[in-house]
Structure 1
Amino acid sequence: IDCDEEKELCTKYKVNAYPAVRLLKRGNEGEVISTRYRGKRTRRAIVSFAKKAYLPPVTHLQLADLKNFKEVDNIVIIAYVQSDQESVLLDFKATASLHHQDFVFGYVTEMPIADAEGLKVPSIVSYKADGDNRILNGPFGVPEIETFLRVVKDDIISEFSERYIETYMSKSKLTAYIFVTNEEDGIALRRTLTSLAKTFQNVITFGLVDAVEYAPMAKSYGLIEDVFPALVVHAPMNDNVFLYKQGKAITAETTDIMLRTILQAKATNGQVFGTEEQDHSSH
């Protein structure tokens, strides 16, 4: 909508800065309800916002629904409960209603489904697009569910922002920067490297960096322009920098070799990993 042409409409929906996104839906009595989007201006984030608005606060799932529902959004929360565990289900539904704009929620009451998933009942599972799934085993109430949601909302590979630069520059840990130019590469590399990020989370901070927005940062680490995705490891304690060979596919195996070599103090400043020679010498 061009707000210069449709001033009255934009005023009606309180649009006073651009670009702006509003989600409009019909209420129970036919009225139009406008919801302001305040998230990131990316396709993935906006689609996620629309899905949460479209779906009910919590969905009762059958076996046929489960596989697709797990993948309907970036984070999907599913409770596995027995049909007679009414208080547990009420607590879950109440929490889901409060956090409907943050997560997609569903629940299962068929015990064969929980058994097939290898889960105790009651339990809650967060299914994440990056594969960092987590489980909350019962018994639990609203406080425990709230704590669980706060934990699963954080990504082990966080999106880099200058606002949190102190986190990435801590001298007590290494920092692994994953530079990407599109969401697809970011999603794929999160899946590839999340397991490693969890393994090394006490000694390495991982960040996903927009290589377009932070092009000067990529250049400062010696990266070649327009050859992305790329991986850089920075050691804030001595300002050493280690590179993954640009143009070569970033794999978990080679990244693991790279990180272990650096942590064992066997790498030299400026060393490039991902070449056959480096892979062989690092074993």
Structure 2
Amino acid sequence: MLFNKKTLFSFAALLSNLTNIQAQEAAAPADSAVIKLTKDTFADFIQENPLFLAEFFAPWCGHCKHLAPEYVKAAAELEDKNIPLVQIDCTEEQELCMEYEIPGYPSLKVFKNNDPKNTKDYQGARSAESIVSYMIKESLPAVQQVGTDSELQDIVQNATQPVIVDSGVKGLNATFYDVAAKLSSDYTFISYVTSNKTVAKDLSLYLPSEDTPIVFNGDLNKLAKNATQLQEWLKVEALPYFGEIDGSVFQTYVESDIPLAYFFYTSDEEKSKYTEFFTELGKKYRGSLNFVGLDSRKYGRHAENLNMKEQFPLFAIHDMKKNLKYGLPQLAEEKFDQLKDTISIETKDISRLVENFVKGKANAIVKSEPEPEVQESNVFKLVGTTHDKIVSDKKKDVLVKYYAPWCGHCKRLAPIYEELADVYASDKKASSKVLIAEVDATANDISDLNIEGYPTIILYPAGKNAEPVTFTSQRTLDGFLKFLKENGSNRVDGESLYEKYAAAKKEAEEDEEDEEDLDHDEL
């Protein structure tokens, strides 16, 4: 994925459907059905229980406190079904939590088949109802056997998640079961075994609320030998043509690896008015765009992440792989305030933007600071609109620091980075071959770049700009000089430059001291 993970996480957090339940202690009460585990009891518990859900938490965690009453309620409902819910306090069991690489709190993991390595992250809604439904589904066979058409129709008509049906495709059985074992919590897998010779031997997908199945129209022989292909097909085809998005399903849309088109609506009536239109668009552009509805009353701030003003209704597209955003023109704030109660979106305008996007003709909305009229230091300041042009310089090795203004590591690096720029700027020949630059990644859109933390420092070698090299050494002046010499196309000897730069700097400082002494003598 070539999108900013930090931005992605902020999207997911914004879209999360947080409930206003009263917080209690994060640890479940002693008299609840939740079982407390430690490093000493964890291994034995796994061997004794083929299925359970584990919450890795911290007592001070606010999200853990909000989850607690729902978790306790779910544990009580699942107790008589022999599906335990357990808790591990990571402030006391640090070694165990490190073993499972717990990234944050609370982290919910499903353990199955008495295998400590066979875990699956629970990413559903944090409500008792969702947890109970999910765990009961996990307890069922990965593939259900069906022998009659009436049985199949009963399952399809009452399904709340996509149903995938193997009607006896030759050679598919092993692959089908393999995929079902991995994805049974997200889909219902049916093996339709019947003696009725009129039933077609195919692979069909039934979406909730859709009467007509989606039939796999590729090469079934290749599919039977390729579990990955089946999974990729499901990631695309199992999504609704026009679905509602929130935190519980956001990751599913991300994993489809397809751009996401948002319709921000202001009321349920408004959403209903556009549903048929967007459903048809979803069918027409299947595999090119996913269409979703977003309630602006809850998630209106997400418009800012798409470089759009909070003017609703609103339509925008986000190409997450390239981190590019597209939207319909918006009004000046004063004009919007005058007309906001009468604004609507013309379907023809949405269709035109979608068509242009798919054809590659739409213009992205790039968030960018103004281009500096004057560069104030030897560290060249990039902005969103100049970044790609500068890093594509065929004659210069361009080193770019991607930073955030609030980042402490970035602030500590700043004087070292400035001196690095001064070293190369001190020599005319070197300055024509090496550029030291930086960009505020929070204020400027940078496409096709994965920024996982700040500062991220990347070298774009001259003539090989499409093959950037990430700096991972110690952030010292010597470390940067060696890195640029070894990885830059121009192989500029920065260490020799620094010797000359340091000598000239020392000489200048001594001259300045002499001048001060002279002034003092004259006084």
Q: CA RMSD in A?
A: 5.0
- TM-score relative to the length of structure 1: 0.57
> Which entry has the higher C-alpha Rg, 1 or 2?
2
Matched residues in 2 for 1:57 and 1:174: separation? 30
Alpha carbons of 1:42 and 1:114: their partners in 2 closer, same or farther (altered >3 Å)? farther
Give the counterpart of 1:128 among 207, 225, 242.
207
Following superposition of structure 1 onto structure 2, how do residues 112-127 of structure 1 map, counting pairs within 5 Å?
112=196, 115=199, 120-121=200-201, 123-127=202-206
Instruction: In structure 2, list runs of 5 or more residues that go unmatched.
Output: 1-22, 37-53, 58-63, 86-108, 111-121, 318-324, 357-523
Identify the residue that residue 49 of structure 1 maps to in structure 2: 134
1:150 lines up with 2:235 in the alignment? yes
Look up the match of 1:141: 225
In structure 2, the residue matched to 1:76 is 163
Size of the aligned set, in residue pairs, is 233
The two structures have a TM-score, normalised by structure 2, of: 0.35
The residue correspondences of 1:1-283 to structure 2 (distance < 5 A) are 6-7=29-30, 9=32, 10=34, 12=36, 14=55, 16=57, 17=64, 18-19=66-67, 21=71, 22=74, 24=78, 32-34=83-85, 37-41=122-126, 49=134, 52-53=137-138, 55-61=140-146, 62-71=148-157, 72-81=159-168, 85=170, 87-110=171-194, 112=196, 115=199, 120-121=200-201, 123-129=202-208, 131=210, 133-137=213-217, 138-139=220-221, 140-143=224-227, 144-157=229-242, 159=245, 175-179=261-265, 193-200=278-285, 206-216=291-301, 220-223=309-312, 231-234=313-316, 240-241=329-330, 255=347, 257=348, 259-260=350-351
Q: Is the 8 A contact 2:300 2:310 kept in 1?
A: no
> Structure 1, unaligned stretches of length 5 or more?
168-172, 224-230, 266-283
- Which string of whole-angstrom CA distances, capped at 9 and with x for unpartnered residues, describes residues 89-141 of structure 1? 233223212322221111212264863xxxx41x2212112639532252223
CA shift digits 1:23-72 (9 cap, x unpaired): 63678xxx644375431347996575256235431111121212221142
Amino acid corresponding to residue 259 of structure 1 in structure 2 = I
Distance 1:205 1:189, change over 3 A: same
Aligned residues with identical type, % of pairs: 15
Label 1:38 to 1:141 Cα distance change in 2 as closer, same or farther (>3 A).
same
| Paired residues of 1:76 and 1:103 also in contact (CA < 8 A) | yes
CA pair 174-207 structure 1, distance change in 2 beyond 3 A: closer
TM-aligned CA distance change 1:63 to 1:125, over 3 Å: same
Is the CA contact (8 Å cut-off) linking 2:166 and 2:191 kept in structure 1?
A: yes
CA distance in 2: counterparts of 1:128 and 1:113, whole angstroms:
25
Q: Which residue of 1 aligns with 2:40?
A: none
1:78 deviates by 1.1
Cα distance 1:203–1:128, how it changes in 2: closer, same or farther (>3 A)? Answer: closer
2:408 maps to which residue?
none
